[in-house]
Structure 1
Amino acid sequence: MTAQAVVATTPRRRAAGRWFGRVPHVVLAIYALVAVFGPLLVDYDPVSTALNDRLLAPGSPLSTGGTAWFGTDGLGRDVLAQVIYGARTSVIIGFATVAVSCAVGVAVGAVAGYFRGWPDTILARGIDILLAFPAILLTIVIAGAFERSVLVVVTALSATAWISFARVTRSVALSTRERPWVDAARVLGVGRLSILWRHILPFTIGPVIALATLEFALIVLAEAGLSFLGIGLPSSAVSWGQVIAGGKQYLATAWWISAIPGIALSLLIINIGILGDQLTARHGRGHVGR
């Protein structure tokens, strides 16, 4: 290959790389639009049944005159509607859990990393105690001890998810508190809380956002697992885990009941993971540049 061909190929590869790098953004935007606007366009009652339309294959006509684009389940419920409403459930629980975990973890980690001393000691011992139990086991215990609801699921998932945010924020606070501008602020008599808010926390935004993206994927997967086990959301709510669990007895004859929500869940997790890796790599390059 000549030098001119190499030069001509390199921009094309870069353009193709940039295009593929945008794929997760497009996929996640589609999921967000479906979660927000899908339930407004598709009417669905998770409790009602239509036994005349049970176990219809994808694309089959319904008795009401419509079309079951993704088929129906064992009770005649539309799988497409379940996927749409399940996307809303996953997005709501994911954002709520990440918000709670981020708020708690960042606050605890920033205080422990900046003030050190006994706050840091308490954080370290608390994390050691929580890490002694498997995260999924502690989540199952909390979710199974109370009546099924969205609040219980968010609480159960947040019980361990905050640890990652606390550890990342603590490490950033420990390194930033020794920077020259922080020492200068102390000499000028700036209060410790003001230093923490203005000179420490801004440096945690990058790594926290990257971590939040990865944690969102793990939380969505954990919620689906809880619902699959029957200890997550109530029957009045729609979850991909519930739909997958409801179709496991029909895998040989009606594969679409479990396969289609499973594919939707897998695509969401994979693209969130890719986006999280991109943000982590971008933050790493920015950190090296500073």
Structure 2
Amino acid sequence: MTAAVELRPRAELRTRRRTAGRWLRRVPYAVVALYALVAVVGPELIDYNPVHASLDDRLLGPGSHLSSGGTAWFGTDGLGRDVLAQVVYGARTSMIIGVCTVAVSCVIGVAVGTVAGYFRGRLDTFLARGIDIVAAFPAILLTIVIAGAFERSVTVVVIALSATPWISFARVTRSVALSLRERAWVDAARVLGVRRTSILLRHIVPFTAGPVIAMATLEFALVVLAEAGLSFLGIGLPNSTVSWGQTIADGKQYLATAWWISALPGIALSLLIINIGILGDQLTARHGRGHLR
């Protein structure tokens, strides 16, 4: 009886820890969902013109009142533009570029990896050598060269950022395809005379979803960070498109007197990157456990 009484608090403590652990694992999902909501709804609620300057309101601190009667909750920059609006609009820009870049990289990488892994032979060797050649170039250098060679636009940024991430998708998909092509159902489909295209689309590509989704989250974080870096260097998006990187770059000359211009967008960017990274690790670990089963 005494032992049972002593074990009860321990069991309750373990239950509480499991519950707390489950809630903590859900935090990255909530944060990423909040950013997505802000990116979709925020710009519709905030009226902002990125090229409009209000010199009467320049370098106001967070919470200051504007000459128009409003409140600058995140302060203003050197041209009197609202930093909160730049953070909200920058969230939409980062989400759009991140989703587009990951989608392009995923389509190219999955197509190349699946074909290389399934057909093998000379085609696999040719594609593998092509992947090695592209991977030999430093990713950030190749991105900067592509982005700097053309006029600044969202399309150019997406193309530049997609130059190397597809390699990761191709390598992962190739390894999965190499394993799946030897499975019984693939052999049965081959014997029954099913077209190769149908075999790839119905019996191989669907099984690559797990590792591809896990990798997509990690690549999304890297893409968002790279886009901010390009905009910070002045070779990313045009000035008419709001970006966290541009806002951070605009505030670097005011770090001693107006820290909020660079700090607050930087914090928003860091929170998104950290939570997407944690989310990606969780999905990778979940896929690994499922694969072991």
What TM-score results when the alignment is normalised by the length of structure 2? 0.97
* In 2: Cα distance, 1:86 partner to 1:191 partner: 46
Alignment of 1:261-272 (within 5 A): 261-272=265-276
* In 2: Cα distance, 1:95 partner to 1:32 partner: 11
Please say if 1:138 is aligned against 2:142. yes
- What residue in structure 2 maps to residue 225 of structure 1? 229
1:103 is paired with a residue whose SS is helix
- What residue in structure 2 maps to residue 113 of structure 1? 117
Please say if 1:20 is aligned against 2:30. no
2:163 is paired with a residue whose SS is helix
- What residue in structure 2 maps to residue 85 of structure 1? 89
2:261 is paired with a residue whose SS is helix
* In 2: Cα distance, 1:38 partner to 1:4 partner: 48
Equivalent residue letter for 1:68: A
* In 2: Cα distance, 1:6 partner to 1:124 partner: 54
Unmatched tracts of structure 2, length 5 or more: none
1:234 is paired with a residue whose SS is coil
* In 2: Cα distance, 1:128 partner to 1:107 partner: 16
Instruction: Please list the CA deviations of residues 192-226 of structure 1 after superposition, one character each: whole Å capped at 9, or x if unmatched.
Output: 22111111111100000000011000000000000
Please say if 1:204 is aligned against 2:208. yes
Give 1:248's match in structure 2, choosing from 252, 261, 270: 252
Shift of 1:3: 2.5
Deviating beyond 4 angstroms after TM superposition, the runs of 4 or more aligned structure 1 residues are none
* In 1: Cα distance, 2:144 partner to 2:235 partner: 8
Shift of 1:119: 2.0
* In 2: Cα distance, 1:86 partner to 1:172 partner: 36
Equivalent residue letter for 1:102: C
Instruction: Please list the CA deviations of residues 105-145 of structure 1 after superposition, one character each: whole Å capped at 9, or x if unmatched.
Output: 10111001001122211211111111211000000000000
Shift of 1:4: 2.3
* In 2: Cα distance, 1:132 partner to 1:195 partner: 32
1:159 is paired with a residue whose SS is coil
- What residue in structure 2 maps to residue 74 of structure 1? 78
Shift of 1:273: 0.5
Equivalent residue letter for 1:116: R
Equivalent residue letter for 1:26: A
* In 1: Cα distance, 2:214 partner to 2:173 partner: 12
Shift of 1:5: 2.2
Give 2:170's match in structure 1, choosing from 166, 187, 190: 166
Please say if 1:154 is aligned against 2:164. no
* In 2: Cα distance, 1:127 partner to 1:197 partner: 22
* In 2: Cα distance, 1:119 partner to 1:12 partner: 54
The alignment's C-alpha RMSD in Å is 1.0
- Percent identity (aligned): 79
What TM-score results when the alignment is normalised by the length of structure 1? 0.98
* In 1: Cα distance, 2:181 partner to 2:57 partner: 64
* In 1: Cα distance, 2:66 partner to 2:200 partner: 60
2:68 is paired with a residue whose SS is coil
Paired residues, number: 289
* In 1: Cα distance, 2:193 partner to 2:292 partner: 31
* In 2: Cα distance, 1:34 partner to 1:234 partner: 22
Instruction: Please list the CA deviations of residues 249-283 of structure 1 after superposition, one character each: whole Å capped at 9, or x if unmatched.
Output: 10010000000000000000000001111111111
Equivalent residue letter for 2:165: A
Alignment of 1:36-115 (within 5 A): 36-115=40-119
Equivalent residue letter for 1:132: A
